Amino acid sequence: MKILVCMKQVPQKDAPLKLNESGTWIREDVSYEVNEPDAYALEEALRQKEKHGGEVVVITSGPARAQQVLREALAKGADRAIHLEDNAFVGLDAFNTAKAFAAAIKEEQFDLIFTGLQSDDYGYAQTGVVLAELLGWPHATIIMQIEKNDAGIRVKRELEAGYFQYVDMPLPAVLTIQSGINKLRYATLIGIKQAKNKPLRKVTMADVQSAVGNNLQKIERLYIPQKTKKTEHIEGPPAEIAKKLVDKLRNELRVL
Amino acid sequence: MPDTILVVVEQREGKLNRVSWETLTAGQALAAETGWALEAAVVGSGVANFANEVAGKKVAKVYAIESPKLEPYTPDAFVAALKQFLSSHPAKLVLMPHTYQVRDFVPKLATALGRAAITDCVGYKKEGDKLFFTRQMFQGKLAADVSFTSDAPWFATFQNGAYRGDRVEAGATAAPVETVNVEIADGVIRNKPQEVFKEAKQAVDLTQAEVIVAVGRGIKEQKNIEIAKNLAEALGAELAASRPICDSGWLPMDRQIGSSGQTVAPKLYLALGISGAIQHIVGMKGARTIIAVNKDSEAPIFEIADYAIVGNLFDIVPPLTEEIKKAKAGG
């Protein structure tokens, strides 16, 4: 099975974010990490390869720092990496990011393409589904299980409120993967060493320019959300906090 | 002719998804501010009843977009149907609730039309002629006002709870309902969905709990859940968790609160070591009172907390449990 995993580098979960001067993006001087759902997508691809043989290729678009995500993926067992490396890829909407990916993998023949179900920075949950439509492939989202069969694959789709659904699909297909589908592995020292020799192909904006167009939407401003709720801070040493809270629980909230 | 706002409501398992009323409320607000016409549509097979239900609200017209191939739901069928409908019934703005089903097809629909979708919005702003859709970014730490730089139709989905479904305006008279039969050719539908099912035997119904103590990643290790359990017991509360805790198997799946788990609105919700990621918040922001304990003062949970305790839950919770026990014992 030849599997492509689309991965994104996002600011670390607990990174303190600051707005840039124009209030249109964040200042880039933060620490980055792999988008968590994408890590699960990679792990799933590696497990499918272990079960059925084949190849796992990882792709990302972003500036030089995004290469870290690919290196980690190679260290965990991915075979090849593709880096759409260009500052021009930052800030592309899902439509154009998917177009860039589709152009970059034109010559390849994947059986499956995985993305995380959404990114922790934008949270649009679109790129995988857009890519499927651009490629003319079937897709399924929020996937918690993948089983290969003769007709293609049977996937387990997660629905709201604890419901699930199995779906039979032909290949090739695009799947967006839900966090928690599996347990993430750590890269081994050998893996990290081997990663250095694995192929990493760079793609510039010029290489895919003909496919990419203007963004269809624009973030006009980014800002600290206005709080609508009035929050009361309860402070002091733990014993004091405990007493204050019990007082509120009893007298204001009436739960005691 | 004025521009049209089309609200596509959701029906599933023989019921109209109640979150559809929230989207209709948003549509009514937008129609009032823009002067655009408001219409609604239901997509499926044999959906006349749902269309009639929607027609009772303040909306100019309701469409039942019909084909036997629209049941069960598949993205291929829904996109084919809506694409066909929109080509003969142009809309300026198409609104939907940000449900798992909508996420599964709206990006495909938008792309098929060469258009954009702004998803998971929490509101909108009209400034002169310009329309902005507000959404949370970076798991709620920042907000963004986003505009469409493309042609219509514009697609936007609204987050659960962004609008109040109970605020939807009823119509003075029933709106006209029109059935639109769509053609879905053989071979269009590629997925074969099976029956929807619930996995975990629902041992606990968190939606009935008056008080909930929920743990997140801040609990660090499985053995520490004991701390939260003790607090829950002292309070007579149910224990719940954010997704990562359930994924790790530290608590069963039926204790999960969030978009994939339960949506609750208890009298009191204590969030321990929960950062406040959007997927969790949508499941509990309806709680009457929220108390949050987190060592990160910037955690998004504090934006919706009524009471905030910035500190280490391992220091805060045990004395709190003791104090509650004392109070209950008549101390």
The superfamily in CATH containing domain A2-208 is: HUPs (3.40.50.620)
Coil, strand or helix at B56:
coil
pLDDT band at A223 (very low <50, low <70, confident <90, very high): very high
Q: From the list B115, B149, B247, which residue is nearest A218 (CB)?
A: B149
Residue extents of the structural domains in chain A: 2-208
- CATH class as words, domain B4-181: alpha beta
Chain B interface includes A169 (CB < 8 A): yes
Chain A interface includes B205 (CB < 8 A): no
At residue A211, the pLDDT reads: 95
Q: What is the pLDDT of residues B130-154, one digit of tens each?
A: 999 999 999 999 999 999 999 999 9
Q: From the list B110, B190, B195, which residue is nearest A138 (CB)?
A: B190
Answer whether residue B303 shows pLDDT above 60: yes
Residues of B in contact with A226 (CB under 8 A): 143
Handedness of CA B13, B16, B22, B23 (dihedral sign): positive
Contact status, residue A26 vs residue A165, Cβ threshold 8 Å:
no
Listed in sequence order, the DSSP H helices in B35-147 are 48-55, 75-88, 100-112
Coil, strand or helix at B255:
helix
- pLDDT average, residue stretch A85-91: 89
Between CA A77 and CA A57 the distance in angstroms is 10
At residue A36, the pLDDT reads: 96
At residue B1, the pLDDT reads: 64
Q: Which of residues 45-84 of A touch B (CB under 8 A)?
A: none
Between CA B195 and CA A155 the distance in angstroms is 13
AA identity, residue A149? N
- Annotate A126-165 with DSSP letters as a single string: -HHHHHHHHHT--EEEEEEEEEEETTEEEEEEE-GGGEEE
Q: What is the pLDDT of residues A3-22, one digit of tens each?
A: 999 999 999 998 999 999 99
pLDDT band at B330 (very low <50, low <70, confident <90, very high): confident
Chain A interface includes B204 (CB < 8 A): no
Q: Which of B232, B19, B70 is nearest to A255 (CA)?
A: B232
Between CA B143 and CA B138 the distance in angstroms is 8
Answer whether residue A26 shows pLDDT above 60: yes
- pLDDT average, residue stretch A160-166: 93
Chain B interface includes A206 (CB < 8 A): no
Residues of B in contact with A13 (CB under 8 A): 139, 275
CATH 3.40.50.620 region(s) of chain B? 4-181
CATH 3.40.50.1220 region(s) of chain B? 206-328
Q: What is the pLDDT of residues B185-243, one digit of tens each?
A: 999 999 999 999 988 777 789 999 999 999 999 999 999 999 999 999 999 999 999 99
Q: What is the pLDDT of residues A97-153, one digit of tens each?
A: 999 999 999 999 999 999 999 999 999 999 999 999 999 999 999 999 999 999 999
**What is the number of CB-based contacts under 8 A between chain A and chain B?**
244
What are the structure tokens assigned to A97, written together?
Answer: 């990011």
Between CA A140 and CA A158 the distance in angstroms is 10
Q: What is the pLDDT of residues B105-114, one digit of tens each?
A: 999 999 999 9
B195 CA: distance to closest CA in chain A (Å): 6
Give the nearest chain A residue to B263 (CA atoms). A161
**How confident is the prediction for chain A on average, in pLDDT?**
96
Q: From the list B142, B247, B291, which residue is nearest A179 (CB)?
A: B247
Q: From the list A98, A129, A217, which residue is nearest B149 (CB)?
A: A217
Give the nearest chain B residue to A165 (CA atoms). B196
Q: What is the pLDDT of residues B70-103, one digit of tens each?
A: 999 999 999 999 999 999 999 999 999 999 999 9
Coil, strand or helix at B180:
strand
In this structure, which CATH number among 3.30.565.10, 2.60.120.650, 3.40.50.300, 3.40.50.1220 belongs to the domain B206-328?
3.40.50.1220
What's this model's pTM, rounded to 2 decimal places? 0.94
**How confident is the prediction for chain B on average, in pLDDT?**
96
- pLDDT average, residue stretch A55-80: 97
Q: From the list A11, A125, A129, which residue is nearest B138 (CB)?
A: A11
At residue A228, the pLDDT reads: 83
